[in-house]
Structure formats: structure tokens, C-alpha cells
Structure 1
């Protein structure tokens, strides 16, 4: 028995609900279809279809086998396409949705080099903090910060960001420096809208124990640069990804606090729909960013790069 041929026939019968309709669709005889299904059932030792004179329907085993057979044939197609496209050059238009502050700092500077490598490719990028529907709006991929909430999409981590809790020297001189996360409850904190609307900041201490504190303050925004600028002017304490900070916090007008208490690392992820085959242009762009960010010190690999002056 040709098992791959049998799988294709099985899925077509399951789709059509009829041996004769499946045979016509596959340009086979009804007897050939029936023989392949019978051989497959004998091989599995299970009945896949209920057969009557009027209809064909899947058994419980058949319904379970549909999912596995579909995955097997999709994986085979992916393997074939991946090998055949290894040497293909990206072409057409690559549509990208990217978070505004991260995109302007780290993606925009990477685009000229990437475009220079592939002259037949065009890029259409939307720098915007809103969460887009990739399929509905026609994007090839999105670059997002943090955990993935839509489990129907595929994510690949291309970098890791560390959260830095900081304030201006003027603010700390006026109100004192928090020594533990619990102290933040008595301070003005600047909140990122969308990442944690509960107003609760969670930390892991030097002893490995987790603790959280509910914070509040004079400003909530969906843009890290706006929060950083507000903190720089002495109006509160900010928790901000290190990819928004330079290597020298003193030049930013900020001082890092609570260095012994770490917030969860933020994955920087490329998100794309679960197509059967990842296009060359998408794959090359994701590989390019992952390589670019992995060789950069600091936020790209989640290590501490900020200079602290005594």
C-alpha cells in the first residue's frame, strides 16, 4: 500500500462524505478509492468510516485520524517547499506591522541594509502600537513586545528585553529612593497602558521569591518614550524596556533603582499566520533581525548593558 496516496484519498473521502465524489475529484475509480481505504483500515486495525448505501461518515477513530493525516501532509508540503525555496530570492512586497517606539529605534535602522541585499523586494511597514489582525489586514508579519495572546499565530523570539525601573535624580532627592518593591506603593509611578492595565508591578527578588505591588501615579500612556520623558522631568518612577534606553542612563537624566529586583524579561517576537509554508521574504527578514539583534550587547540578548556611575 502507498500510505501517502492512501492518506490523500482518506482525506478527500472525509471532505466529500462520499467514495464516488472523492473518486471523481481525484480522477480515480470508485473501486480504487475503496481498496485504498480498506487497505488503510487494515493497516491501522481500525475502522475509519461508517458506510451505508446512502452516506459515508467518519468514526471516532476516523475523526482523530483526519487531524493527524492533515498535519502529516502539510508537514511534507512544508518540507518540500522549504528545500525548493532555500536559494530563492525574496521578491514582491513585505508588509510589516511594528510597535512604534521599538520600530523607530531598532527596526527602521535595519531596513536599508536588508533592502540593499534584496533589490527585488519592497517593504511596506506600519509603525503603530495597535494590535493588527494579520490575516484580515493583509500583513505578512508583526513585531510585538511581550507574550503572545493569540494562540492561532506562530511566534519566533528574535530578542529579549530587560525592564529597567528608573527615576530622575531630582525625583529621588525630593521623595527618597525606594529600597524594595513594596516602597513603590508610596511613590508616583508612570504606567504603560496596554502591557499591565491592572497597575500591578511584579518582581523577583535576590532570594528568588516573587513579590508584587500595586502602583499608581499621575500618568498612563501607551508610549514608552512619553513615559521616559515624564520621568526625566521628575514626575515619577518608570518601568521601561532597556531597548528604549541608551547605554548611559546619566545621559538620559535617569537613575536605575531596585537593581536587585528584576521584572520578567520581555520577548521581542516576530508573529506570522500559520500558513502551510513560510514565504522566503518573511523567513529571510526574520532571520536577518534575529542575527542583527543577537550580536548587539545589552537588550538584544537580555543582558545588563547600562552603565552605572559611582
Structure 2
């Protein structure tokens, strides 16, 4: 006979297992927050659905039939598996473990290593798989736990948390500055080749601000365009133009003399750094703690 398993059937199986384990319907009723008559009704319906008598009932005690004993053992195994599932879920919620799948832009991968290394050292049951790509990965299709997005976010159903704002700087190599000179005003920037970070073919603008003066928007152009900031940084070091880089990437180049600031008295809108997940609530510990580690590192 084919049995039609439903959520209600599973509930009746759980009630039956607890009645057997506790030895009475009244004890099971108290534990399950049910009335004894409701427990009795659940058992009668289970016997009707299975077509067998599961319990011998007497005024003193309940005992399983031979068939009922075997059925009870299977029902008890089901409950045990459910408790184990709940326990593992609790462990995942409280302790970071399993594989953490993170998508980052190529240029951000080094920052990810610095942020998450302490977490990985502290929790040996946690592993990390990094997807370093400048294209925006589909979080759901690729089963990504956490993505780092930089810059303007497109509208979506994803949940974004701002973790940092990085100042933008304009840089050129010393060789470029000696050979071509550097712009002294925002308008002169348009006369220099820009190394353009872009993923779509559209005009490139640089917005510049200085206290006491109107904002300037300069349309720039260049013959080198890439969707990878590391490539553009290398092109700048070869003296091929001016590049716009966020502070963490620009500061080391300035510190060791490989680059010089362009229009240092002018500022640009900062670059937002966001942690993006597919859902806001009920995040496992590995995701919550990774976001906290990134916030602390970037802050």
C-alpha cells in the first residue's frame, strides 16, 4: 500500500514516538503542549492511515505491538535525525564552519586576504573559496555567500552594507610628468590621456571639487580602457597616461615614488565599498563574522 506522506503525517509519527518513549499519552501531551484527547486522536489517525495497530492500550500502560515496535524505531530515528539537523544548524549559526564563498573584484583580493586571515586562523573548520572577477557574479546562481561591490550599485533585490568610503586620487608616473607635464586646472585634464576603468562604452567624466569654487565636471578620453584597475595601474607606471585610483591602491605608489599626485588640491567623490548578500536575515556565522572582519579591517 502506498502511503501519502505529508507534514501532518510526520507530526503524527513524532507524536507516536514520544508517546512510546514517555510511556503515556498524558506525559506526551504535557511535553508537546497538547491535550491527551488530541494525542489520542493523532494516534488513532496514524493507525487508520497505516492500516495496522501500533499500540496495545490498557488502563495501566501502553505497549507497542510487534509491528508498532519496529515502526517506533524508525520514527525515533527520524526524530533523532531532525534533532541532529537542528543541532548542526545551531552550530553553523553560532560558529563559522564550512565553505565561505566570496566574490570580489580582482583588485580587492589582496584586501580580502588581510581581512579574513585572522578569521581563518581562529576557526580551522572554516574554508574559503574566492571568486576574483571584475564582472558581477550572480550570487544565487553561483551560490555566493558574500560579494564585495565597489562603486555605484545598480538597483537589485540584493542586500548591501556600506563598509568603507575610499577617496579617489589622480596619479601619473614621474616619467609621464617629466615628458608631458601635469594639468594645473581641471580643464587641462581633458588635454591628457586618461587610463579609463569602464565596463560599458560610454563617455567618461571626472568630477572635481575644491573649497570656495564651483564643482567642475571634465569629460576625459584615452586610448586605453579596461575593466581591470590593476591593468590600468601598470599602464600608468609605464608612463602611458593619468589614472584614477582609490586611496589604498594609490598610497603605496606615492610612498615609494613610483607615482605623483595630479591636481592634489582638488578632491573627487569617494568610492563606496559594499558587502552584498542575497538575504539580510538568518545569516550563518561564517557570513556574519566575515562581514564584521571586513568592516574592522577596512575601517
What interval of TM-score do these two structures reach, taking the shorter chain for normalisation? 0.5 to 0.7
1:284 aligns with 2:289: yes
Q: Summarize the alignment of residues 244-259 of structure 1 with structure 2, pairs less than 5 Å apart.
A: 244-247=249-252, 249=254, 251-259=256-264
Number of equivalent positions: 210
Aligned to 1:178: 183
Aligned to 1:96: 102
CA distance in 2, matches of 1:196, 1:162: 25
SS state of the match for residue 240, structure 2? coil
1:242 aligns with 2:247: yes
CA distance in 2, matches of 1:151, 1:259: 36
Compute the displacement of 1:134 (Å).
0.7
Q: Summarize the alignment of residues 64-83 of structure 1 with structure 2, pairs less than 5 Å apart.
A: none
SS state of the match for residue 135, structure 1? coil
Q: Summarize the alignment of residues 53-132 of structure 1 with structure 2, pairs less than 5 Å apart.
A: 88-103=94-109, 105-132=110-137
Q: Summarize the alignment of residues 125-204 of structure 1 with structure 2, pairs less than 5 Å apart.
A: 125-194=130-199, 197-204=202-209
Aligned to 2:69: none
Deviations 1:21-67 (A, max 9, x none): xxxxxxxxxxxxxxxxxxxxxxxxxxxxxxxxxxxxxxxxxxxxxxx
Q: Residue 159 of structure 1 contacts residue 293 of structure 1 at CA under 8 Å; is this kept in 2?
A: yes
SS state of the match for residue 253, structure 1? coil
CA distance in 1, matches of 2:178, 2:278: 49
Contiguous gaps of at least 5 residues in structure 2? 1-89
TM-score by length of 1: 0.63
Q: Residue 171 of structure 2 contacts residue 250 of structure 2 at CA under 8 Å; is this kept in 1?
A: no
Q: Summarize the alignment of residues 19-30 of structure 1 with structure 2, pairs less than 5 Å apart.
A: none
SS state of the match for residue 295, structure 2? helix
Q: Residue 96 of structure 1 contacts residue 124 of structure 1 at CA under 8 Å; is this kept in 2?
A: yes
Aligned to 2:275: 270
Q: Residue 159 of structure 2 contacts residue 280 of structure 2 at CA under 8 Å; is this kept in 1?
A: no
1:207 aligns with 2:215: no
CA distance in 1, matches of 2:148, 2:255: 29
Larger Rg: 2
CA distance in 1, matches of 2:194, 2:148: 27
Deviations 1:217-270 (A, max 9, x none): 121111222212211222111111122134451525210011221111011110
Contiguous gaps of at least 5 residues in structure 1? 1-83, 295-310
Compute the displacement of 1:86 (Å).
11
SS state of the match for residue 234, structure 2? helix
Q: Residue 189 of structure 1 contacts residue 238 of structure 1 at CA under 8 Å; is this kept in 2?
A: yes
Q: What is the alpha-carbon root mean square deviation over aligned residues?
A: 2.2
CA distance in 2, matches of 1:162, 1:197: 23
